[in-house]
Amino acid sequence: HISHSTIDADWLTFLPQNIDECNEGTHNCGSNARCVNEPQSFSCHCDQGFSGNGIVCQDVDECALQTDNCHFNAECINTNGSYVCFCKMGYFWDGVNCTNNNECNEGSHNCHGNATCEDNDGSFNCTCKPGYSGNGTDCEDIDECIKDEDNNCSPNAVCNNKIGTHECVCKAGYRGNGTHCDDIDECTDLTPPLRCRGVGQGCTNYPGGYRCNCISPGQQLTDDESGCVDVMAAVQGQILITNQVFLADYNDPRSAAYFQITQVIIIQLTGLFRRTATLRSKFLSITILGLFQGSVGVDYVVTFNDTSGVNNEIIQEELVGALNTTNNDTFPGGLQISSDLTFQDYDECNPTGSNPTPVCGHNATCVNRNISYDCVCDEGFVNNGTSCIRCSDGGHGCHEHASCNETEGSFVCTCNAGYSGDGISCEVLQFR
């Protein structure tokens, strides 16, 4: 008799035994797969992030397939069996999202010190400040004064470049803010110091300048232009400036161009006469009569305070001598003149240009003399020392108790009867 328990045990020994291939490592699942034991067998399943039949499992590129869950401001980087998310440059992870990083506020930008930083989504822009040029990371100062179109200075102003900017300063003789400059009329301007206010002085305004003159042709300005002194001799001269081109504006004595070049000519001619051997002690001043074509021709008048030793020949000789001391007949100011100098008597009675005619007064005529002039009384008039008069006109200066009697070219005062004296002064006769 075989017990039941014995029969069961024997029967079990003949049943198929389940083998766990997964534990025993006898499966053929791929390295990126997991083994699942099953009755009398096993199955292979690719790990998450891989796909295949379990025996062969290939990485799934979630980034390429866009099955990742990276933030839209992050970059997806595939790894073996997975992926990682990195916030893009210009963003940082705040724990939930990739948030814009403000490099301008944080100072993490690379903008130049003379540039402005402007933040944008995920990046920033560098822009050179006004007055600078470059790409924003490198900015250099712009010299706005090199080209007129780069500055807003007036044509009558000087442009001074400054780092990152420029300034406009009105030239001498002009007034304004630099972008707009108006000519100062020095002849009427009451801002100290007052110009050309000496006795007998006149004033001519020019664009950007002025020139003082003496109203009487018999006088010329002192060296400091504070007053006028008598002229004893005047000679007209002519020079030719060979290294200058005649401009149309030179035809207008009130133009800025005329004023500028004649100012230079006056200074240079003055210096030339003051280098002469003997004339320098008598020299007073230079007056420009006008400019003419032929390079640039100059008509001028030179005045002296003494007539002795002043004539055309001496002036010619001494001026050529002084000119030979210059560099190739070139003034220190750069004006080159022809050595062919000409001189003639200046006719004060028929002046050239804007020069005034001598005021000889009524009943007198201006008569030109060599290097000077005289005021000659008209026929029938006599000179009483200040003007030309006739006895019948009064003004003769005779005493009220005297009579005026005209003579040849003059007159005499004779005390009336009962008076004694020279006619200018008459007293009652005293009888004893």
Is there a domain that residue 105 lies in? no
Residues 335 and 246 in one domain: yes
Measure the N-to-C terminal CA separation of the chain; round to a whole number of Å: 221
SS3 86: strand
Among 63, 65, 59, CA closest to 47:
59
Tell me, yes or no, whether 395 lies in a domain: yes
Does 330 share its domain with 389? no
Residue-level pLDDT at 16? 65
Claim to verify: residue 274 and residue 295 sit in the same structural domain: yes
> Burial, 352: exposed, middle or buried (Cβ in 10 Å; 0-12, 13-18, 19+)?
middle
d(C-alpha 277, C-alpha 269), whole Å: 15
Same domain, 315 and 240: yes
Report the distance separating Cα 265 and Cα 259, nearest Å. 10
Any idea what the CATH number is for the domain that residue 398 is in? 2.10.25.10
Tokens, residue 21: 């291939």
Same domain, 235 and 223: no
Given a cut of 90, whether residue 185 has pLDDT beyond it is yes
Task: Note whether residue 61 is domain-resident.
Answer: no
pTM above 0.75, yes or no: no
- Examine the domain organization and report whether 403 and 315 are in the same domain: no
- Boundary-marking domain end, from 319, 345, 371: 345
- Could you report the per-residue pLDDT of 144-159, keeping only the tens digit for each? 999 888 899 999 999 9
Residues 236 and 214 in one domain: no
**What element of type H or E holds 213?**
strand 209-214
What is the tens place of the pLDDT at every residue in 376-406?
A: 888 777 776 667 777 777 767 789 899 988 7
Residue 10 lies in a domain: no
Note if the bond before 193 is cis, omega within 30 degrees: yes
Task: Assess whether 336 and 248 both reside in one domain.
Answer: yes
The DSSP letter of residue 171 is P
Residues 421 and 395 in one domain: yes
Query: Higher pLDDT residue, 159 or 294?
Result: 159
pLDDT at 125 > cutoff 80: yes
Domain of residue 398 covers: 379-428
Residue 254 sits in the same domain as residue 330: yes
Task: Say if residue 245 is in the same domain as residue 312.
Answer: yes
Q: Is residue 150 part of a domain?
A: no
CB 154 within 8 A of CB 132: no
Q: Is 311 part of a structural domain of the chain?
A: yes
Number of domains in the chain: 3
Question: Average pLDDT of the chain?
Answer: 84
Asked whether residue 106 is assigned to any structural domain, the reply reads no
Domain boundary residue, one of 324, 345, 366? 345
* Strand, helix or coil for residue 69: coil
The pLDDT tens digits for 312-366 are 888 888 887 777 655 555 665 667 777 667 777 777 777 765 566 666 777 788 8
- DSSP string across 311-353: SHHHHHHHHHHHHTTSBTTB-TTS-BB-S--EEEE--TTS--T
Q: What share of the chain is helix, strand, coil (3-state, %, to 5)?
A: 15, 35, 50
Categorize the per-residue pLDDT at 4 as very low, low, confident or very high, splitting at 50, 70 and 90: very low
Digit-coded pLDDT (tens) for 210-241: 989 888 767 888 878 888 888 888 888 888 88
What pLDDT, on a 0 to 100 scale, did the predictor assign at position 341?
Answer: 72
Q: Residue 44 — pLDDT band, cuts 50, 70, 90? A: very high
What is the per-residue pLDDT across 70-95, written as a single tens digit (0 to 9) for each?
998 999 999 999 999 999 888 988 87
- Rounded CA separation 408/381 (Å): 10
Closest to 156 (Cα-Cα) out of 82, 209, 201: 209
Q: How confident is the model at residue 33 (pLDDT cuts 50, 70, 90)?
A: very high
Q: Residue 270: which CATH number?
A: 3.30.70.960
**Alpha-carbon distance 198 to 216, whole Å?**
13
Q: What is the pLDDT of residue 63?
A: 93
Per-residue model confidence (pLDDT) at position 89: 85
- Same-domain check for residues 333 and 395: no
At 1, is the pLDDT very low, low, confident or very high (cuts 50, 70, 90)? Answer: very low
Residue ending a domain, among 299, 325, 345, is 345
Report strand pairing: 410-415 vs 402-407: antiparallel
The whole-number pLDDT of residue 219 equals 81
**Assigned domain for 69 exists:** no
**188-200 per-position pLDDT tens digit:** 998 888 889 888 8
pLDDT of 407 strictly over 80 = no
Structure tokens at 307: 């007539």
The pLDDT value given to residue 396: 73
% of the chain beyond a pLDDT of 70: 88
Nearest-10 crossing angle of helices 256-273, 312-323: 90
Write b or e for each residue in 306-327: b if 16 or more Cβ atoms lie within 10 A of its Cβ, otherwise e: eeeebebebbeebbeebbeebe
Is the pLDDT at 2 greater than 50, yes or no?
A: no
Evaluate whether 238 touches 265 at the Cβ level (below 8 Å): no
156: amino acid identity, one letter: N
The whole-number pLDDT of residue 329 equals: 57
